[in-house]
Homo-oligomer: A and B are copies of this chain.
């Protein structure tokens, strides 16, 4: 049975293995790194001892001299299925590689930099992040220290890679679709952020494209903003619906759009009264009970692609930056029916 707890057992070190196997630490090190210069017999002996002692190298000690074999991923919000899809894509791409992924959840509001710093303090071999609210100057400096790929940033960085979808196209697809369905009074619900970075964030670009598409058709934009929370999206959506002035809402992303559907239902309305279109195509959007028209940006694929780019830097040694853009696609579902007569 287990020993009395509290007496923390010390785990074996490389020295213990070396001693037990009657070889040098260097030999053990070579064996675990699959490095050259070890005879089959030695390898065998060492591996046997490692198994016997259940030895596992400590990452920290390893990091002091070499790599951590760790990829850090910063994710602003665990509750948004789009992000978890990206993680899933990344995770599956990493399978079979010696790299392990750790996720650092965001701290909300403008604290994205803190999370990136803490990942860097851990000396991950590379990182993937989704941090719209960090200045590109700051990121450029971080990118010089550590391989990095940023998702959803439209800046042409030189020290790190970016991976986005064509947000302008996606928003245009969404809005054009509503117009083609016959909608004239289309609102946009988006996430507010600071004036400074806003125009280059995904939401800022979608917003711009929404405005442009409407104006090109001579229609009037109606913009409402909310914070990045279910409650805020619900409230803003409800207000928009209750105004009775619109027949459709293009929402900044699916997670928020689903809150708008909630508000709609709470007002005893359906998407036949007010059409709703989202962005991301999270798995839930295809659920028949939700059936949300949306724009797919292929989250899983983006996650996998991000890992590819990162490994090109880490393993392949690439140092020039790449900027990949994924082409989004419209997913037509039941939430974007043709407009009913205006409520008032």
Contacts of A319 in B (CB 8 A): 5-6
Contacts of A79 in B (CB 8 A): 81, 84-85, 88, 283
CA distance A31 to B140 in the complex (A): 29
Q: Give the residues from 78 to 105 in chain A that come closer than 8 angstroms, CB to CB, to chain B.
A: 78-79, 81, 84-85, 87-88, 91, 95, 100-105
A122 on the B face (CB < 8 A): yes
CA distance A111 to B111 in the complex (A): 33
CA distance A284 to B89 in the complex (A): 23
Contact A5 B159 (CB under 8 A): yes
Contacts of A11 in B (CB 8 A): 145
Contact B289 A290 (CB under 8 A): yes
Contact B2 A144 (CB under 8 A): yes
CA distance A1 to B6 in the complex (A): 53
Closest B residue by C-beta to A79: B84
Contact B283 A262 (CB under 8 A): no
* Distance of A148 from chain B, by nearest CB (Å): 10
Among B122, B283, B287, point to the contact of A59 (Cβ < 8 A): B122
* Distance of A285 from chain B, by nearest CB (Å): 12
CA distance A197 to B98 in the complex (A): 30
Contacts of A320 in B (CB 8 A): 5-6
Contact A140 B56 (CB under 8 A): no
Question: Which of A19-27, A60-68, A181-189, A245-253 lies at the interface with chain B?
Answer: A60-68
Q: Give the residues from 165 to 197 in chain A that come closer than 8 angstroms, CB to CB, to chain B.
A: none
Contact B158 A2 (CB under 8 A): yes
Among B8, B91, B262, point to the contact of A287 (Cβ < 8 A): B262
Closest B residue by C-beta to A115: B100
A220 on the B face (CB < 8 A): no
Contact A121 B56 (CB under 8 A): yes
Contact B78 A87 (CB under 8 A): yes
Contact A101 B107 (CB under 8 A): no
* Distance of A45 from chain B, by nearest CB (Å): 23
Closest B residue by C-beta to A137: B2
* Distance of A160 from chain B, by nearest CB (Å): 8
Q: Give the residues from 127 to 156 in chain A that come closer than 8 angstroms, CB to CB, to chain B.
A: 137, 140-141, 143-146
CA distance A113 to B88 in the complex (A): 19
Q: A9-B144, A159-B2 are in contact. Are A118 and B100 (CB under 8 A)?
A: yes
Among B70, B95, B121, point to the contact of A107 (Cβ < 8 A): B95
Contact A101 B95 (CB under 8 A): no
Q: A78-B88, A145-B11 are in contact. Are A123 and B159 (CB under 8 A)?
A: no
A225 on the B face (CB < 8 A): no
CA distance A194 to B125 in the complex (A): 37
* Distance of A237 from chain B, by nearest CB (Å): 13
Q: A9-B144, A78-B88, A159-B5 are in contact. Are A105 and B107 (CB under 8 A)?
A: no
Q: Which residues of A pack against B, CB within 8 Å?
A: 1-3, 5-9, 11, 56-61, 63-64, 68, 70, 78-79, 81, 84-85, 87-88, 91, 95, 100-105, 107, 117-118, 120-123, 137, 140-141, 143-146, 158-159, 230, 258, 261-262, 265-266, 283-284, 287-290, 319-321
Q: List 16 A-B contacts (CB under 8 A).
A: A2-B143, A5-B143, A6-B320, A9-B141, A59-B123, A60-B60, A60-B68, A61-B64, A64-B64, A78-B78, A101-B104, A102-B103, A102-B122, A230-B283, A258-B287, A262-B288
